[in-house]
Structure 1
Amino acid sequence: MELEVFDKSGSQTGKKVSLPDSVFGIEPNDHAIYLDVKQFLANQRQGTHKSKERAEIVGSTKKLKKQKGTGTARAGSIKSPVFRGGGRVFGPKPRDYSFKLNKKLKKLARKSALSYKASGSSIAILEDFTLDAPKTKEYASILKSLNFEGKKVLLVLPEADKSIILSVRNLPKSKVTTVDSLNTYDIMNADQLLVFENSIEKFSNF
């Protein structure tokens, strides 16, 4: 698959780049994408939720009423879960939600996600540029010239560039990453991938 290369003004440069079919043209595996996204979201969870069970509640241990003859159910403690202010039955406890996946499966998931974006014409190639200093307004103007305003855009750099990263992160629907740091969730969550021209070479070893 060949794509046109655009410059910062949104105009075609006349150059074309070829996307490797081994990465952007495979048969997508939906289950691999599901597992990788599930793992990503699970790894974001803090898992610090906690509620008190009846043994952890501070309260009297005195028997509330006599065992028999009251006409209601027997009750032995104010800390029972059936009473207001009592402990919680099987409440949440701190835990680690993360789980492992095979590297080959995660690789397949990323390729599947990229293939979906390629088949949906959701990838645009941008001519490489640099910024002398962080300028969010300049990056916003690039998005406007490419008609990407209002879309969730993932900018893919060949390597980290501090000025560009600082410029992009102020925009609520924009995110920036490098080829080496790409993950399935970010790819699938974006409406549009904006890939630097020199990033394509790195996808051959993706």
Structure 2
Amino acid sequence: MKTSPLAALVAILAALLVLGAAGPALAHDALKSSTPAKGAEVEALDEVKLEFSATVRMPFVIVRGPGDTPRQAGDPQVDGKVVTQAVKGPLPDGKYTIAYRVVSSDGHPIEGEIPFTVKGAKTASPSPEPSGNASATPEPSGTGEASPSAAPTGASAPAGQASLEADQASATQDAGFPVWLIIVVGGLIGIGIGFLLSARRRKP
């Protein structure tokens, strides 16, 4: 049985249409982009974003840092084609890897790894601690009471007064010293004159 050229052409076109329609159905969903991108170098990172070619579900994301330390925070969130994973920050300098696994719209699992590097991360400076001298400084009081610093001035008044009284007593003693000395000397002279007169009278 001979086949006309027209029938052969129609068969070929039909086969091409079937293969063309089956091609997209056989293709699985895939990762379109990521933030950070593969091999990227960043200074800081708060979250990871993964965008797929179609809607995905059941996301699982791990962010590993130096020493295989996990850096993800909480569970990943999925919004249609985009999966977002929060990161514990700030991240120190070093090499990191994003490991992900999702289920595509046709039920096929999609997984992979995305390496990136953190360089030039800013470290938080320590807050200055309050000085102990500031806490020890007494605050001025509005009650009008004398401050403790005025105590030495009041305490020095009795000492000054005692010194003044001692000086006055010493001056009084100095002023009275010649008086009693004159009296004693005068008494001794009187006694001596009396002895002389008595001796003269006793002579024959």
TM-score by length of 1: 0.15
Larger radius of gyration: 2
By relative contact order (CA 8 Å, sep 6+), the higher-ranking structure is: 1
Larger helix proportion, structure 1 or 2?
2
TM-score by length of 2: 0.15
